[in-house]
Amino acid sequence: MVFNSLEYFLFLPAIWLVHYFLGQRFRWLFLLVASLIFYVSLKVPYLLGVITLVTITTYGFGLWIHRVEQLQQKKLLLWGGIATNVLILVAMKYVPFLTENLNVLLSLFDSPIKAPHAQLLVAIGVSYYVFQAISYLSDIYLEIEEPETHFGYFSLYLAFFPKLLQGPIERARDLLPQLKQKYEFNYDNMRFGLLLFTWGLFKKVVLADRLGLYVDAVYNDVHAYQGLPLLLATYAYAFQIYFDFSGYTDMALGTARLFNVKLTDNFNSPYLATSVADFWRRWHITFSRWILDYIFKPLQMSWRNWKNWGTAAALVVTFFVSGLWHGASWGFVIWGLLHGTYMACSVFYRPFQKKIHKAMSLEKTKVLKIWQIFVTFNLVCLAWVFFRAFGGWQALYVLKNIPEMHHNYVALIDNGWADFIRNNIMFGLDKRNIITLAACLICYAIIISKKSYDLLNKPTYIRWTAYYLLIFSIIFLQVSSKKYIYFQF
């Protein structure tokens, strides 16, 4: 079940009530069973086997790494634990991609041998809890964390339903102590949790899904468009994916808060980033911290004698893995490599950047900041094209044809404004759709800019008006819900 489904609106209050009335001793068990029921409701039975396997092996390896004395043995066990997890992930997500590419390679050499065709498995949630399992094992190896001895709490750490399907990717040291804490009813947490959930729901079903209509109109038929529409649809996609994922995260954080659990936030106004590195400090924060700590830093340190070249190579490899993590397709790989390349280039460019800004006396000026935000946003959007398009060729078509705006201009001269707006800005969508979308986005911008999301400290009449408006817009302005973009990862 997904967060914006009727089942969940029945599931959550029921779970909360039972949890509330249960004694502290059984709460962990109840939450664990509830989380597994939540997972089973996806109607993919083997996923239960996968999470059980990851839980048992990681729990065992964790205790084992801690118990052995010799560093060499610890290292061996760490690699054993990581390899098991990675193998499970590869088996679930990458076998069809690997066999397909292997067959292409074999056909190049006219080989009569062919790898058998593999079925793509549904792997919702797997990459999230596998990453958490790897971070848990690494932290035990690095002795920044003690292994959890209580198998029940450990299982709940991996399976806790608010963050099971799509993160945030939590560290054991942040989440486990909260799961063990004695539950006491907290009015502020309830209020905040419910508001955050509703706000996330609004972002998802009103903003993201409506933007999705707009994006799909172009991206499902890119060859019918040139110039401006391709640019607008790409910008719209940047916001669709942001509202989709950050809306989901708000719902996850809101749900957890009802149980007095504070999950880590994943977003901090990512499109206001002034560099690609800054973007990654603001976008999918728990994931970027993970790749930074467990892939980038070890690589950077291993290659430290190559100085900047080592860092640059570590960045490219890290973001290559990040691309692969998102999915087994070349689009994601190219997306990752683009981000890796941006950051690798900045390693060499950064020393000059400061000097250039100083020479132009632009340091710490507003103009510079706006320019940097603009450039970063466009670099990020360029990479999003590969994320959204169906395959690399379609993405290249989009990038090649965005600059072809003179076609739009000629069409404007020939057919007039009305036609131009219908074809190049509205993409054949209903007028009401576009007006609603624009109105909702403007409302969102006003709310964010005035920091009105700090609603809980406002007078009662403002609060309740806002609650009603939010619920009203969710009910009447939602687009029939689709899947979450980040589910597939």
List residues near other proteins by CB under 8 A. Answer: 71, 141-144, 296-298, 300-302, 304-305, 307-308, 310-311, 347, 350
- Residue 297 or residue 369: which is nearer to other proteins going by CB? 297
In whole angstroms, how close is the CB of 309 to other proteins at the nearest point?
Answer: 11
- Residue 265 or residue 278: which is nearer to other proteins going by CB? 278
- Residue 27 or residue 74: which is nearer to other proteins going by CB? 74
The answer to whether 239 and 340 have CB atoms below 8 angstroms apart is: no
- Residue 76 or residue 448: which is nearer to other proteins going by CB? 76
The answer to whether 135 and 290 have CB atoms below 8 angstroms apart is: yes
Residue whose structure tokens are 């809101």: 254
Catalytic, out of 326, 357, 406, 407: 326
In whole angstroms, how close is the CB of 330 to other proteins at the nearest point?
Answer: 29
How many residues belong to the chain?
489
In whole angstroms, how close is the CB of 61 to other proteins at the nearest point?
Answer: 17
Give the contacts of 422 (CB within 8 A, at least 6 positions apart): 428
- Residue 281 or residue 482: which is nearer to other proteins going by CB? 281
User: Which of 10, 7, 1, 15 shows the shortest CA–CA distance to 258?
Assistant: 15
- Residue 266 or residue 311: which is nearer to other proteins going by CB? 311
- Residue 301 or residue 448: which is nearer to other proteins going by CB? 301
In whole angstroms, how close is the CB of 467 to other proteins at the nearest point?
Answer: 39
The answer to whether 273 and 263 have CB atoms below 8 angstroms apart is: no
Tokens of 360: 């132009």
| Active site (annotated) includes residue 326 | yes
CA dist 145 and 175 (Å) reads 13
The answer to whether 11 and 134 have CB atoms below 8 angstroms apart is: no
In whole angstroms, how close is the CB of 137 to other proteins at the nearest point?
Answer: 14
In whole angstroms, how close is the CB of 271 to other proteins at the nearest point?
Answer: 23
CA dist 418 and 111 (Å) reads 57
In whole angstroms, how close is the CB of 310 to other proteins at the nearest point?
Answer: 7
The answer to whether 190 and 258 have CB atoms below 8 angstroms apart is: yes
In whole angstroms, how close is the CB of 357 to other proteins at the nearest point?
Answer: 15
- Residue 83 or residue 224: which is nearer to other proteins going by CB? 83
CA dist 377 and 365 (Å) reads 19
Q: Which residues are catalytic?
A: 326
